[in-house]
């Protein structure tokens, strides 16, 4: 694939990845592949080939989802990322074959791994966005995001809601570990750190400057 017009955004939760992808695409009349864009392929995926991605698609009782141990959940989420990478690259390849796509800038909120991004892209086309992991752990259910609120309600329905919440906090702590943060920070790509005092417009300008996107 020719990825000269493709900009990838990776990073931690609550760092602003979704927002920057939307804002850059809007400003530059580009294409935004937003968070979980692989979901468009979910209905057609073979569960034998993608057992982790299709786990939630085929789940009959969502209470099973939140009852998993931290070890089970972390193993699942790591495998989901690997399967997401395959599907997301397929979607990107299909998009780039469409008429006119090569003439537009494409901004991607992606699950593609650091290792793969170093193989297919370069430091002028990948942006890492970072926020303190404590934000993701302690403010996970503060967002009005329907998916997060759905999970929160499931936990409240459990026989011991507090135990369910504590279990999920431990899951988040494992996922949002210092090790994962350090891996992103030391990835070799350009970085933007979350700053509550910086406006969305200022963050867009900073991203453009770091990636060398023509204004």
Tell me the pLDDT band of 28, cut-offs 50, 70 and 90.
very high
Integer CA distances (angstroms), 137 to 34, 95, 140, 166, in order: 22, 35, 6, 11
Separation CA 142–CA 208 (nearest Å)? 30
Residue 215 has pLDDT above 80, yes or no: no
Residue 144 has pLDDT above 80, yes or no: no
Enumerate the domain spans of the chain: 6-211
Please say whether the beta carbons of 45 and 147 come within 8 A: no
Q: What is the mean pLDDT of residues 159-184?
A: 95
The residues that bridge with 20 in the sheet, in sequence order, are none
Question: Whose CA is closest to 117, among 30, 9, 39?
Answer: 9
Top CATH class of 6-211 equals alpha beta
Tell me the pLDDT band of 197, cut-offs 50, 70 and 90.
very high
Integer CA distances (angstroms), 153 to 72, 77, 146, 150, 161, in order: 21, 21, 10, 5, 9
pLDDT in tens, 78-137: 999 999 999 999 999 999 999 999 899 999 999 999 999 999 999 999 999 999 988 888
Res 123: pLDDT: 96
Residue 145 has pLDDT above 90, yes or no: no
Please say whether the beta carbons of 2 and 121 come within 8 A: no
Residues 6+ away with beta carbon under 8 Å from 53 = 38, 42, 45, 80, 83, 84, 87
């Amino acid at each position: 694939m020719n990825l000269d017009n493709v900009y990838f955004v990776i990073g931690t939760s609550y760092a602003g990845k979704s927002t920057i992808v939307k804002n850059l695409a809007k400003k530059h009349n580009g294409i935004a592949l937003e968070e979980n864009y692989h979901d468009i392929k979910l209905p057609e995926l073979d569960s034998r080939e993608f057992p982790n991605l299709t786990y939630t698609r085929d789940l009959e009782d969502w209470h099973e989802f939140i009852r998993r141990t931290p070890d089970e959940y972390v193993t699942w989420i790591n495998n989901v990322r690997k399967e997401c990478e395959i599907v997301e690259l397929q979607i990107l390849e299909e998009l780039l074959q469409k008429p006119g796509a090569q003439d537009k800038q494409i901004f991607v909120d992606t699950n593609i791994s650091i290792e793969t991004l170093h193989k297919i892209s370069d430091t002028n086309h990948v942006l890492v966005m970072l926020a303190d992991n404590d934000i993701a752990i302690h403010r996970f259910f503060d967002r009005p995001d329907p998916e997060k609120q759905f999970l929160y309600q499931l936990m409240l329905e459990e026989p011991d809601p507090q135990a369910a919440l504590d279990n999920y906090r431990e899951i988040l702590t494992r996922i949002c570990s210092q090790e994962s943060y350090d891996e992103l920070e030391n990835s070799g790509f350009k970085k933007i750190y979350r700053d509550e005092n910086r406006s969305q417009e200022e963050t867009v300008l900073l991203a453009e400057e770091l990636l060398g996107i023509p204004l």
